[in-house]
Structure 1
């Protein structure tokens, strides 16, 4: 059976003799290890992140089975064109390199997921539209000012991160891509954002950090309390000026500007006195859990779920009302969330929901009105995907009228190892089915807005 090679396999020890499909090496490598070629026919996942590589060998195309290649945090200044010969390759990451050049025909046309975050790219190749299967694109933290017109042909694109670049304007076609649902444009000259909220600013010296609660992509959250109070709060310290989604400063300002809503985590204070941004939030009880989990290599842009998660139609209606209400509120405040996913939603046994994580949020005030409106409709498609995923969790038991069904919650356990294997959707004329179809319409302009969606759900 194919196995995974340990991270210490090179250069200090020989590679395992059994065929492997997955290898990770972080050994300060300056050159590509030739020993890897003995697995050229079977290797599917190669992670050479955190080394000192700046090139790949001319015969790298020998890795005929390679699907995913991670070269994060290396020294590459250009994308090696030999990668175009790796016809099985669907995912590539050059995050955190020194890229200044992205030549035409540098990557295989079957590419589905491309990560170029935190580089020095000032332009993309004019033939970028050849990547017609691309679903996920991360370009935050570069020096881009324009997108090639051919990129309008990337009609499978579902998620794009363009934050923290030099864009002074965006092309109209970006807001017309039929499958684009998660877009981040913050920290560009075209999308400035300042803190105009009434939430107070407090010095960090006024807070005592009690314990670390968790670390995410953009920062660390601590259990804390104000020096004049015993009430516990959550204090988030950002850990850099760039994340895969965008800029922490913009994340903070958008979260502050979002204001109060029953389904948004309340912000208590903006924190000063630190080199990096920080904020204080209301502490959400531990009875709340994430509704979903982030996408996998297989799902790419779609969230994943625990097999035991089951939902009734009534629960989906309740959750959908809360999500659509929160999104209508954000859009009313001229903010697009950019990351409308179940893994950014916290729910409890009573189906109370909080939408969090403004890391991909974009302020809309400075965008042309038609582009801002189009951006909002892109997020409607994200809601359509989310609703589709919720409907896939319905089972006959969860949707029955029995007292047991009424006690089910979004975090409830099921005896079935795959609770959605017998998924039973509502009838085709059900409001949930109708809304899903409307939200997923290929024509962006024909989708409803969140105010309409919220109204429909509250009437059902």
Structure 2
């Protein structure tokens, strides 16, 4: 974090990113001294309720974070910022989104955890829009004009008041990642029985990882027979995430059941002293690593790889395993919603595990489920394309995989293969 004192003393001249979280109640005019350089402005965690009308003076501003503030409406000043493409106002008190508050080159709009009941039809006039994050609001519908946003790829609608998913949304040609749990939609999934594991049987050790929905720790589980198992324990937080409810995530993990390419769930924790919810899972071998990092602000909806190179056999086996896991999930009426390389663990032999059910949701009905599967196939096609781009084999050896990849991402959903067909193609 930067300080207001350093800004006023001129010590931050020429910087491209400014982070200020110091209880601000008003926008400091000193920020305009950075108008010739500032591209990223982070004012999250303050007490701001408005932005200056002349915000456009920050003529290079591309990314604006204003989460955890006191805004009740999206500031109209944003609409005049010509370079602004990322707008993040998570966990404020926003009720009103005026048409004039939307910048012309908007790509990512994050309004998670507000009080929004409706969005303006003018939102559909932003053809660059790729990412729309609206979980945890009060939306009963979406503007039909959004159908014109043909580049829209990621949509988060969890924990709203939607009684159905719009037909146009399920036909969007580029949509690949859709989250919608926690809405009053019908639900056709069947509960999967799961073993209760008393809290007193668990001994927790070091933290393995922490995400928006919970903390994962290595642990020992001493069962009723006295046998000790090395396991991983995930304790869920109660807070809403950008994808949805952690408790909905847990329900999807349980309903997913067992599959060789899913992280095995051994049981559900009971008897926690603070009534926390949690799962006990198999401890994954350290030979597995995460396939990629999540998208950056610039890449928007595309994962970031760290020089990964793949042999053709490794790629094919990994892709077949993930397709098999997705086929299994959709056969159970579960849409993963976040099929990304950063949610996949892999090893050099091509073994793979699909994790992170934070965006998962159950089918509202079979017909909708068929569309949801074809949307998730688009995500798989994008993933397969990323893997092919990192394959050491020549084009003549990857021609069949490339043809399959193109089928998965074609704009007409009905012509895309389902996961059963994809799995068969990859196994062959």
Change (3 A) 1:109 1:323: same
Q: Show the 5 A alignment for 1:141-220.
A: 141-192=136-187, 196-220=191-215
Q: Show the 5 A alignment for 1:279-428.
A: 279-307=279-307, 309-364=308-363, 366-367=364-365, 369-395=366-392, 399=393, 424-426=394-396
What RMSD over aligned residues (CA atoms) do the two structures have, in Å? 1.6
Q: Show the 5 A alignment for 1:236-315.
A: 236-272=234-270, 273=272, 274-307=274-307, 309-315=308-314
1:100-141: CA deviation from partner (whole Å, max 9, x where unpaired)? 111122111210011101111111112220122110111111
SS in 1 for 2:99: coil
Q: CA deviation at 1:334?
A: 0.5
Give the TM-score of the pair, scaled to structure 1: 0.89
Report the Cα distance in structure 2 between the residues aligned to 1:103 and 1:184, rounded to whole angstroms. 25
2:43 is the alignment partner of 1:67: no
Contact 1:194 1:253 in 2 (8 A): no
Report the Cα distance in structure 2 between the residues aligned to 1:254 and 1:339, rounded to whole angstroms. 13
Give the TM-score of the pair, scaled to structure 2: 0.95
Contact 1:391 1:425 in 2 (8 A): no
SS in 2 for 1:234: strand
Q: Show the 5 A alignment for 1:436-451.
A: 436-451=405-420
Partner of 2:38: 43
Q: CA deviation at 1:195?
A: 7.5
Moved more, 60-69 or 201-210: 201-210
1:335-392: CA deviation from partner (whole Å, max 9, x where unpaired)? 010011111111123221111000000101x33x332111110000101100100011
Q: CA deviation at 1:17?
A: 5.3
Contact 1:426 1:433 in 2 (8 A): no
Report the Cα distance in structure 2 between the residues aligned to 1:73 and 1:191, rounded to whole angstroms. 32
Report the Cα distance in structure 1 between the residues aligned to 2:294 and 2:117, rounded to whole angstroms. 30
Change (3 A) 1:294 1:191: farther
Report the Cα distance in structure 1 between the residues aligned to 2:262 and 2:189, rounded to whole angstroms. 20
Contact 1:182 1:382 in 2 (8 A): yes
Contact 1:178 1:442 in 2 (8 A): yes
1:249-273: CA deviation from partner (whole Å, max 9, x where unpaired)? 1100111000110000000111233
Change (3 A) 1:322 1:11: same
Report the Cα distance in structure 1 between the residues aligned to 2:8 and 2:420, rounded to whole angstroms. 61
Moved more, 449-458 or 100-109: 100-109
Q: CA deviation at 1:204?
A: 2.2
**Gaps in structure 1 of 5+ consecutive residues:** 1-5, 400-423
SS in 1 for 2:215: strand
Moved more, 321-330 or 184-193: 184-193
Contact 2:102 2:123 in 1 (8 A): no
Contact 1:166 1:189 in 2 (8 A): yes
Partner of 2:75: 80
1:265-291: CA deviation from partner (whole Å, max 9, x where unpaired)? 000111233444211110001111001
Q: CA deviation at 1:425?
A: 3.2
Q: CA deviation at 1:64?
A: 0.9
**Gaps in structure 2 of 5+ consecutive residues:** none
